[in-house]
Amino acid sequence: MADPITDPVPVERRVDLGLARLLPDLDRPRGWLLTLDDAPQSYVDLDDPLYLEFEYVQRLAHAADLAAASGEPIDVLHLGGGALTLARYLAATRPGSRQQAVEIDAGLSALVGEYLPWSGASGSGSGPGAGSASGAVPGAGLRVHAADARQFLAAAPEDSADLVVADVFGGSRIPAHLTSVEFVREAARVLRPGGLYAANLADGAPLDFARGQLATVRAVFAEVCLVAEPSVLRGRRYGNLVLLAADHELPAAELARRTAADPFPARVVHGDRLELLTGRARPVTDATAAPSPPPPEGAFAL
C-alpha cells in the first residue's frame, strides 16, 4: 500500500459505484483530491483540516461556524461522506462534537480510511480501515455508516442533530429521492429546535433545479437562504449553490460578510430576492422528483 505521507502517488481503485482516484496535490505535500468516475468528490489536506479547497465546502464551513457559539461541540449528521472534509473541519473547530457520516459506497469509505487517515483532523486515531463498511473512528467522535442517505435519515431519532448536511451525489448528480419535500421533512424532524439544514446543490442555466429545490425547502422551513457565486446565480456557468434553512432567523448578514471575503466571493440571497429567484417553481415531491441535471461536458476538467 502506498503511504500518503512518504509516497504521494496517485491511487486508483474500483469501488462500489465507479472508479475512484486519489490524486496528490503537487502544491501541498499532504493534499489529496478524491474523484469518482472523474467527477471531483472531495479534497483533503491531511496536515491542515482547516484548508478547504472547494469553494462550496468553505460556504458549508461558514454555515457550520455560525450554527452555534464558536468552538461549542454540536451533533452533526453528514448525508454523503466522501473524504469527510467537513467532518474533519468540525473535529478541529468544534472539538468534542459527535458526528455521523452516511456514505452508501462502502468501498469508497474503505479507500478513504486506508489512504486518508483521520489523524490529520483529530490528532489521534485513524479512519475506518480497509474493508470497513461502517464503524467508529477511535477518539474522534465520528461514526461512518454504509447506508442510503434517505433510509438512514428516516431511521434517525427525532431532535437528534444540531446540523444536518446533505451533500450526496451519485457521480455528478444528486439522486432524485434526495430532492423531495418528503426527504426535507425527514431532515427537519431530525433537527433539534434551533438546528440548521444545509444542502449542496449543483445547477446551471436556467437554474430550474435550484429553483425547484428552493420551493421544496421553503415548503418545510420558515427561513431559507442561498449562497453562490454571482456567475452561477446569473446562469452564466454551471456550479454549486449552498442552500441553508432553519425554523429561526438565519445569520444572513454575517454569512454575507464571510462569503464576500472568500477567494471566490459569493452572494447570499434571502428575503425578497429569494422570493424573486424562486419564482413560480413548485415543491418537488417523491412522485415528481428527478435527479439534478448533468454537468456540461468539460465541467470537471482536471
Cα–Cα distance for residue pair 116/23, rounded to 1 Å: 12
Please answer whether residues 228 and 213 qualify as being in contact, where contact means their C-beta atoms are separated by less than 8 angstroms.
Answer: no
Residue 301, judged by CB atoms within 10 A of its CB (0-12, 13-18, 19+), counts as exposed
Helix (H, G, I), strand (E, B) or coil at 89: helix
Q: Which residue has the cell 432567523?
A: 249
Cα–Cα distance for residue pair 95/46, rounded to 1 Å: 17
Cα–Cα distance for residue pair 298/293, rounded to 1 Å: 15
pLDDT in tens, 34-79: 999 999 999 999 999 999 999 999 999 999 999 999 999 999 999 9
Pairing between β-strand 31-36 and β-strand 18-24 as defined by DSSP bridges: antiparallel
Tell me what pLDDT residue 297 has: 80
Q: Alpha-carbon torsion 58, 211, 214, 152, what sign? A: negative
Q: Which residue has the cell 425547484?
A: 212
Tell me what pLDDT residue 119 has: 62
Please answer whether residues 175 and 168 qualify as being in contact, where contact means their C-beta atoms are separated by less than 8 angstroms.
Answer: yes
Q: Alpha-carbon torsion 147, 95, 137, 23, what sign? A: positive
Who's near 64: CB < 8 A, 6+ residues apart?
A: 76, 86, 89, 90, 93, 94, 163, 165, 198
pLDDT in tens, 124-139: 333 333 333 456 654 5
Tell me what pLDDT residue 241 has: 98
Q: Alpha-carbon torsion 233, 235, 237, 243, what sign? A: positive
Q: What is the dihedral of CA 112, 116, 121, 127, to 10 degrees?
A: 50
The residue ranges of the chain whose pLDDT is under 50 are: 120-133, 138
Domains of the chain and any CATH numbers: 53-278 (3.40.50.150)
C-alpha cell at 121: 483532523
Please answer whether residues 92 and 117 qualify as being in contact, where contact means their C-beta atoms are separated by less than 8 angstroms.
Answer: no
Nearest CA to 225 out of 111, 98, 63 is that of 63
C-alpha cell at 87: 467532518
At position 248, the amino acid (one-letter code) is: H
What CA–CA distances, in Å, run from 106 to 7, 101, 144? 24, 12, 9
Helix (H, G, I), strand (E, B) or coil at 34: strand
Tell me what pLDDT residue 22 has: 98
Who's near 207: CB < 8 A, 6+ residues apart?
A: 233, 235, 277
At residue 217, φ and ψ (nearest 5 deg) are -70, -35
